[in-house]
Amino acid sequence: MACCIRVGAILFHLFHVGGKTMLKRLAILTALLCATVSVSWAGATGGHGDAAPHWGYEGAGAPEHWGSLDPAFSTCSIGESQSPINVTGGQDVDQPAIAFSYKATPIHMVNNGHTIKVDYAPGSTITVSGKTYNLLQFHFHTQSENAIEGKLFPMEAHLVHSDADGHLAVVGVMFADGAANPFIEQLWLRMPVAANSTMDIAGSLNVETMLPESRDYYSWSGSLTTPPCSEGVAWMLLKQPVTIAPGQAAKLKRVMGGENNRPLQPLNGRVIYK
């Protein structure tokens, strides 16, 4: 199980002193590159922990009960750097660019009963100020889990990455109502609709084609949004949404049997950077 250490608040409180851009940038890089928490590999590769006992989004297994379902899930209740959050306000800083280096790969989709997850073959990375993270998988939530200035979006994708030491970085992509999304359409045509089922897509796809043109982002220190809710995750939410047809988001909700988004969590003094 994951080792959960409270580091986000300590790192981000460095920004309250001085106010100089260089100091702020140093603290950002520290939070993104030097998170001292190794999150469980099962949580990273599964996207949702995939752990017993049963948890979900309603009833006895709903998010408000996660922390009491198993001692390993206690961080879901007592953690102070939990995700998702409402991205509001924030400090203007000179954030390091995210260098995306994604390759086309055969697509293996999994319906794990909590989300539609796409496992990604090794070799695709992001690099942030010299630190490289490997793309493990991406998955979807409807409605969005994070909010921007109080607004939830019809769907959100989480691209989960890990560095060589097991530290996680998640890139979030928002989907707004609009034109049908060609990348999502290719996935949904082969979506595994039964829980605990899989589906492969012939040929290969590159998830970079799903990303918006602008790569500007918000950043903060957070957690996995599902049990065990491990903290120390570097979050980078792209500011520009991409479009999705209402029916595309509705299909995910229908297959999941309802919405699969955790409610917003308190900031508890964390700072958001933009």
DSSP per residue, 3-22: -----HHHHHGGGGSS--HH
The helix/strand/coil state of 43 is: helix
Residue 137 makes CB contacts below 8 A (sequence gap 6+) with 44, 45, 47, 117, 118, 119, 120, 159, 160
**Catalytic positions, please?**
114
Question: Model pTM?
Answer: 0.84
CA dist list (Å): 264 to 147, 152, 153:
8, 10, 13
- Give the separation between CA 263 and CA 64, rounded to whole angstroms: 9
The HSE-up count of residue 9 (CA atoms within 13 Å, CB side) is 10
Contact 137, 175 (CB under 8 A): no
Contact 111, 93 (CB under 8 A): no
DSSP-derived letter for residue 91 is B
- Give the separation between CA 61 and CA 53, rounded to whole angstroms: 9
What residue segments make up the domains of the chain, in order of their start? 8-256
Query: What's the CATH architecture for 8-256?
Result: Roll (3.10)
Splitting the chain (274 residues) into consecutive groups of 10 residues, what average pLDDT does each group show? Answer: 37 39 45 42 48 84 98 98 97 97 97 98 96 98 98 99 98 99 97 97 95 98 98 99 98 98 98 97
Q: Are strands 147-148 and 86-87 parallel, antiparallel or unpaired?
A: parallel
Can you name the residues that pair with 110 across neighbouring β-strands?
117, 198
Give rounded-to-5 percent helix, strand, coil for the chain: 25, 30, 45
Q: What is the pLDDT of residue 52?
A: 55
- Give the separation between CA 217 and CA 99, rounded to whole angstroms: 12
- Give the separation between CA 215 and CA 29, rounded to whole angstroms: 17
Q: What is the pLDDT of residue 2?
A: 37
Residue 39 makes CB contacts below 8 A (sequence gap 6+) with 2, 166, 167, 168, 224, 230, 232, 233
For tokens 């198993």, the residue is: 70
Q: What is the pLDDT of residue 202?
A: 86
Question: What values do phi and psi take at 266, rounded to 5?
Answer: -70, 150
Q: What is the pLDDT of residue 45?
A: 53
The helix/strand/coil state of 1 is: coil
